[in-house]
């Protein structure tokens, strides 16, 4: 079975750094894009960016370019979403998801990682 | 950037009724449009891709239609588990985008 398992909820202070993870199993990790989607409390879905683990090609939505870093480690089938300096406005649920082609539709999703940024 | 506008924002219907959800793009996305369902506390689930193709395991009561700028998701007869929020997403032009969502609620 295809599974994407995300790291647990995080509570951070403004200005702190954070790296959350998404570990895939049940398929060939290097053959599919992994994307990240933000959902702020009570709001809709926002496309952040994608990475192709085979060659680490990364693409960002303009709204998130420079705000986050997407990376991956194909040796452990894991993708990451990273912040260098969190803001209160980064408080949200973050989903990773898998897709073919570029840009992809997402056919399998992780369970989500809740990030809370508060002083 | 392409903007996807979904309407209505909320649809109040009873089980067994037909639901018709709309997604309008600010410019043509050809047929590169998907629909997702999201229930409270859950990740989204892919329902329809390329405007009219059901994803694996999706019941036949869900159907999609449209092209260019106007798309429709139809649920032929609402089951209790179908009350949720529905999002469209385009992948024709970078950056990809989601619509704002339509909540289908029990009347």
Instruction: Give A105-118 pLDDT, tens digit per residue.
Output: 999 999 999 999 99
Nearest CB to B95 within list A44, A62, A112? A62
d(CA B14, CA A82): 43
From chain B, the residues in CB contact with A59 under 8 A are: 94
Chain A residues with CB under 8 Å of B9 CB are none
* pLDDT of residue B63 exceeding 90: yes
With an 8 Å Cβ cutoff, are A62 and B99 in contact? no
Question: Which of the four pLDDT bands, split at 50, 70 and 90, describes residue A102?
Answer: confident
pLDDT tens digit sequence for A53-96: 999 999 999 999 999 999 999 999 999 999 999 999 999 999 99
Residue range A2-29: mean pLDDT, rounded: 98
Pairing between strand A18-25 and A3-6? antiparallel
- Chain A residues near residue B46 by CB distance under 8 angstroms: 105-107
Candidates B95, B97, B102, partner chain A, best to mutate (most A CBs within 10 A): B95
Interchain contact A103–B (C-beta under 8 A) = yes
Confidence band for A32, pLDDT divided at 50, 70 and 90: very high
Strand segments, DSSP code E, in B26-84 are 33-38, 45-49, 53-54, 62-67, 70-75
- The label of the residue with tokens 């570990």 reads A23
pLDDT tens digits, residue range B68-102? 999 999 999 999 999 999 999 999 999 999 999 99
Q: Which pLDDT band, with edges at 50, 70 and 90, does A101 fall under?
A: confident
Under an 8 A CB cutoff, do A44 and B1 touch? no
């Amino acid at each position: 079975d295809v599974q994407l398992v995300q790291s647990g909820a995080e509570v951070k202070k403004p200005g702190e750094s954070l790296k959350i993870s998404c570990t895939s199993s049940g398929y060939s990790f290097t053959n599919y894009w992994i994307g990240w989607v933000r959902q702020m409390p009570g709001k809709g879905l926002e496309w952040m960016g994608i990475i192709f683990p085979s060659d680490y090609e990364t693409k960002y939505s303009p709204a998130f370019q420079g705000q986050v870093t997407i990376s991956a480690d194909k040796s452990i089938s894991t993708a990451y979403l990273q912040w260098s300096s969190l803001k209160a406005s980064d408080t949200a649920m973050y989903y990773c998801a898998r897709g073919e082609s570029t840009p992809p539709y997402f056919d399998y999703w992780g369970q989500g990682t809740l990030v809370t940024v508060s002083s | 950037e392409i903007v996807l506008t979904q309407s209505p924002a909320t649809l109040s219907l009873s089980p067994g009724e037909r639901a018709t959800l709309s997604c309008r793009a600010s410019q043509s996305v050809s047929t590169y449009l998907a629909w997702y369902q999201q229930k409270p506390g859950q990740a989204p689930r892919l329902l329809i891709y390329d405007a009219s193709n059901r994803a694996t395991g999706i019941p036949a009561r869900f159907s999609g239609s449209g092209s260019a700028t106007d798309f429709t998701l139809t649920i032929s007869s609402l089951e209790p588990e179908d009350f949720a929020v529905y999002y469209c997403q385009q992948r024709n032009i970078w950056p990809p985008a989601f619509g704002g969502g339509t909540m289908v609620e029990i009347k």
